[in-house]
Amino acid sequence: MPEVYKQSFKQNYTNNVDLSVFNCGLERCAPGHTWGPGIRDHYLIHLILAGKGTFQTSGKTWELNPGDLFFVRPNQLNTYTADAQQPWEYCWVGFNGISAHRLASLLPFSDEQPVHHTQRPEEMYHAMENIYRARGLRVQDETAMVGYLYLFIAALMDETSERKPHNTNTSSQYVLNAIKYIQFNYSHDISIDDVAKSVGVSRSHLYRVFMSNVGKSPIDYLTEYRINEACKLLRTGSLSIAEVAISVGFFDQFYFSRVFKRAKGMPPSKYAAQQAAAPADDSPAPAAAP
């Protein structure tokens, strides 16, 4: 029996709110090793490298072998178990962020079929291995991990296109264009009507496609994006609250403070003070179970 091992990394804090690596690692499991039944609060993809096991979700069970990937969605009850005779060895990556829901919809997984067999297992393994090798607590490490995550997702998206060659999702394109418009114009006095007009759809249709593809309304996305950008500026400590508010598209400082407090549980002044007082954390991040 090959030796059991586990190598893992987990992020405790992220600067990348758009997309971030939550955890990643490699493991050769003990016979019968089981996770669950339980739920995750992030997206999680496993790639089977050797051995076999089972994945259970939504009342169904899949028998998995090398080259298979299985996909765990947030708040979805699931269980996965290594075979008692040939326990699997796998690698994994967990991710979340504002764009995670949209990117997940472009992968070769669905609620009915959360399992995909790749024709390029070595390529997928090296893509996931690169994420793990780039691990670290510095901003540049985190940025490298997210970069490698995008490359891994892009490789999976290629297989989605091969699997569904005639599938074009117009609503996803509307959302992508709307998000681009928001990211380039959030600091201006824009409304959701402006966003809808920029992509050529009605406000009500934009609401429907956002809820379907992103899981939140356009106004919630715009507000969340502005608040997260405000957090970045507040962490620098170089701008006043009024200057931060204007910089992210809020031209009423008191309204900005109310929205910020509702989103973060504290006023921006307290958030800025906490960031200024927080010591730099150079301690290693703890390992996390996949």
Of 289 and 69, more confident: 69
What is the phi/psi pair of residue 71, to 5°? -120, 125
Tell me: pLDDT of 166 over 70. no
Q: Which fold has domain 170-276?
A: Arc Repressor Mutant, subunit A (1.10.10)
Quote the pLDDT of residue 282.
42
Report the CATH architecture of 5-163: Sandwich (2.60)
Phi-psi region of 189 (alpha: psi -120 to 50; beta: other; left: phi over 0): beta
Per the CB < 8 A criterion, the answer to whether 209 and 174 are in contact is yes
Tell me the two tokens of residue 283: 């301690």
Enumerate the domain spans of the chain.
5-163, 170-276
Closest to 93 measured CA to CA, from 83, 82, 104: 104
Tell me: pLDDT of 286 over 80. no
Quote the pLDDT of residue 289.
43
Quote the pLDDT of residue 284.
40
Tell me: pLDDT of 222 over 50. yes
Quote the pLDDT of residue 137.
84
Dist. CA 287–CA 290, nearest whole Å: 9
Reported confidence tier of residue 167, pLDDT bands at 50, 70, 90: very low
Of 85 and 169, more confident: 85
Helix segments in 105-217, DSSP class H: 121-133, 139-163, 170-185, 192-199, 203-213
Q: Any bridge partners for residue 64, and if so which?
A: 53
Q: What's the pLDDT tens digit per position in 200-212?
A: 889 999 999 999 8
- Kindly compute the dihedral angle of the four CA atoms of residues 222, 140, 101, 261, in this order, to the nearest 10 degrees: -40
Reported confidence tier of residue 47, pLDDT bands at 50, 70, 90: very high
Percent of the chain with pLDDT over 90: 67
